[in-house]
Structure 1
Amino acid sequence: MELRHLQYFIAVAEELHFGKAALRLNMTQPPLSQQIKQLEKEVGVTLLKRTKRVVELSAAGESFLKHSRNAIEQIDKAIEMAQRTARGELGRLVVGFVGSATYEFLPPIIREFRELFPSVKVDLREISSFRQQEELLKGNIDIGILHPPLQHSALHMEKVQSSPCILALPKQHPLAAKKTIEIQDLENEPIITLAKETWPTLYLEFVNFCEQAGFKPKIIQEATEYQMVIGLVSAGIGITFVPSSAKKLFNLEVAYRNINQIQLTAEWVIAYRKDNQNPILKHFLDIVNKRQALLQANVTNT
């Protein structure tokens, strides 16, 4: 039995006239009659009662008509769903991200994506940069938003955001009275940082700036996320450096100051497998690229 047999039967059952049904199907009547006979033979029951004047549905035909319509409807729906999935309008996108990506970069992208593709399930997973590379290579996430470095021939990577770093210190700290702070001012200060494994380039860059200034930073505590780092600063345990984009998120009892004469920069990149076949990924990347173009235009205009 083929799909066309159901379509032929439905046309005859609705018209109750072979001539009208044939016209509706853009075919001649004799082949249509043969197709219906073949269908009845395959089903094994009489679906249509025929006389010279009247065509009527048998009881079996009425039941078969109902289920034939349902079958056609389900097939049409399956075709539509397959086409929408191929266009990236349905399905699932798994996004890995580091916590700091939620300061500025990620929220507007997710918001716009969900507005444009409400039928796509977006699975957001907070994962460290190191683990994101593993998850990307295993195919467990479609795209990652993480910190560099990232080097693997199977992955495509590009920088999507950078932010200058500023110093965060307790509001009652003596250095908080200064508008700008020299790197040498940190020589004897207890430092709290993100763990080297969490953001290796930023960690090493900070240590390098201190060593160039003639001292080794007094790192007393490492943490995996800035929420914990800032919490320790507000408790008066030490001072830290954060991306300037984090300033509006963490007020508490913390003051923020520029570090003079050094350019400590936080960077975020996106990464995905070069062979990723998920059509939804392209839509996500289009939104990322559009946002990058708008930000670049704003920078150029200012």
Structure 2
Amino acid sequence: MLSLRQFQQFLAVAETMSFRRAAEHLNMAQPPLTATIRQMEAELGVRLFERTNRINSLTAAGEVLREEAQRTIDQAERAVALTRRAGTGEIGSLRIGFVASAVRQLLPTLIAEFRESQPGVVLELEEAPSARQIAALLEDRMDLGIVALPLPSGAEPRILTQTIVRSRLVAAIPARHPLANALHTPLTLAALADEGWVLFPAAEGPGLHSTILRACAQAGFTPRIVQRAVQMETIVGLVAAGLGVALVPSLFAETGREGVVFRDLVGHGSPIAYEVALTRRKGNNLPALEAFIQTVLRVLSLR
């Protein structure tokens, strides 16, 4: 198998048509260079140069080798350059999961900022509930998760978290419901005890699901769940249709929704914390991942 060094020496001779000038260009003695060309010819079983007392021209085989050797050298140099860029996070790909309700307004800015600073990195985005993201992180099917805390039980030892948003849950109430219009009266969690609830399945976000049930227990009741839905848009849509009430992140509520009134909660069981975190598997130190995290922190610092 010919080496890159042999290719480089052969190309120098092919370019100068002189062992002496090629040796000077390569900063080496002429005899080892001549020996290299003879060794290549012996290994390939062909003559590479037409020569008498000096080199006259490349043979047909030599012409083919010059073209392929140059292509190989160029590819090797490209591989080195790309590897170095990947090592600094300039190129590569990132698999990122997110909970839409958590970063509904933030995500477009994050993507735009990151693509401007790291145009060589391809982002593979997937909207998914927190529990699915954690499972994907642990199975190395995802590099970064943007999830709602707390993490599922048992995941903490293997996952690194960095909280980026600290907020609260608010009540989503059908616009025609009496509680939606009693704005002069503070709304307690206990006031929702007799209502039907729209809630996400526990398996999709066990940590937050447990937080909500604990808050309701502190307010003296267990919510009567009449509908389940995974996506926050669907949950709020069901509330707008009058099927029940729900608790949603205040970040989500800021954008508003026709047919729904969002109200803060007071009293026992409230406020109910809603925290969003960047999560990744321990040991995943991809430079591109670090660059994305820094972009998130920079964007948040400007808000």
TM-score when scaled to structure 1? 0.85
For residues 254-269 of structure 1, the aligned pairs below 5 Å read: 254-261=260-267, 262-269=270-277
Residue equivalent to 2:293: 285
**Alpha-carbon shift at residue 231 of structure 1 (Å):** 0.9
Q: Distance in 1 between matches of 2:203 and 2:37?
A: 71
Residue equivalent to 2:157: 153
Residue equivalent to 1:122: 123
**Alpha-carbon shift at residue 76 of structure 1 (Å):** 1.6
Contact 1:103-1:249 within 8 A present in 2 as well: no
- Going from structure 1 to structure 2, the CA distance change for 1:255 and 1:55 (only over 3 Å counts) comes to same
Residue equivalent to 1:227: 233
Contact 2:150-2:208 within 8 A present in 1 as well: no
- Going from structure 1 to structure 2, the CA distance change for 1:73 and 1:219 (only over 3 Å counts) comes to same
Unaligned runs of 5+ in 2: none
Instruction: Count residues in correspondence.
Output: 295
Contact 1:105-1:161 within 8 A present in 2 as well: no
Q: Distance in 2 between matches of 1:162 and 1:267?
A: 5
SS of the equivalent of 2:258 reads: coil
**Alpha-carbon shift at residue 230 of structure 1 (Å):** 0.9
Contact 2:149-2:208 within 8 A present in 1 as well: no
SS of the equivalent of 1:153 reads: helix
Contact 2:132-2:204 within 8 A present in 1 as well: no
SS of the equivalent of 1:27 reads: coil
Question: Sequence identity, in percent?
Answer: 37
Contact 2:130-2:148 within 8 A present in 1 as well: yes
Q: Distance in 2 between matches of 1:107 and 1:197?
A: 28
Matched AA of 1:228: T
Contact 1:193-1:240 within 8 A present in 2 as well: yes
- Going from structure 1 to structure 2, the CA distance change for 1:197 and 1:249 (only over 3 Å counts) comes to farther
- Going from structure 1 to structure 2, the CA distance change for 1:70 and 1:204 (only over 3 Å counts) comes to closer
Is the counterpart of residue 177 in structure 1 residue 181 in structure 2? yes
Which of 220, 229, 241 is matched with 2:247 structurally? 241
Matched AA of 1:270: L
Is the counterpart of residue 133 in structure 1 residue 134 in structure 2? yes
The CA deviation string for residues 44-97 of structure 1, in whole angstroms up to 9 with x for no partner, is: 222112244653222222222111111211222222233233333333322222
- Going from structure 1 to structure 2, the CA distance change for 1:169 and 1:23 (only over 3 Å counts) comes to same
Q: Distance in 1 between matches of 2:146 and 2:161?
A: 10
User: Higher mean Cα deviation, 6-15 or 142-151?
Assistant: 142-151
The CA deviation string for residues 97-146 of structure 1, in whole angstroms up to 9 with x for no partner, is: 22323313433323322333333232222332223332222222222222
**Alpha-carbon shift at residue 246 of structure 1 (Å):** 0.9
- Going from structure 1 to structure 2, the CA distance change for 1:275 and 1:53 (only over 3 Å counts) comes to closer
SS of the equivalent of 1:182 reads: coil
Contact 2:102-2:252 within 8 A present in 1 as well: no
Contact 2:94-2:124 within 8 A present in 1 as well: yes
Matched AA of 1:109: L
Unaligned runs of 5+ in 1: none
**Alpha-carbon shift at residue 225 of structure 1 (Å):** 1.9
Q: Distance in 2 between matches of 1:8 and 1:244?
A: 67
- Going from structure 1 to structure 2, the CA distance change for 1:283 and 1:51 (only over 3 Å counts) comes to same
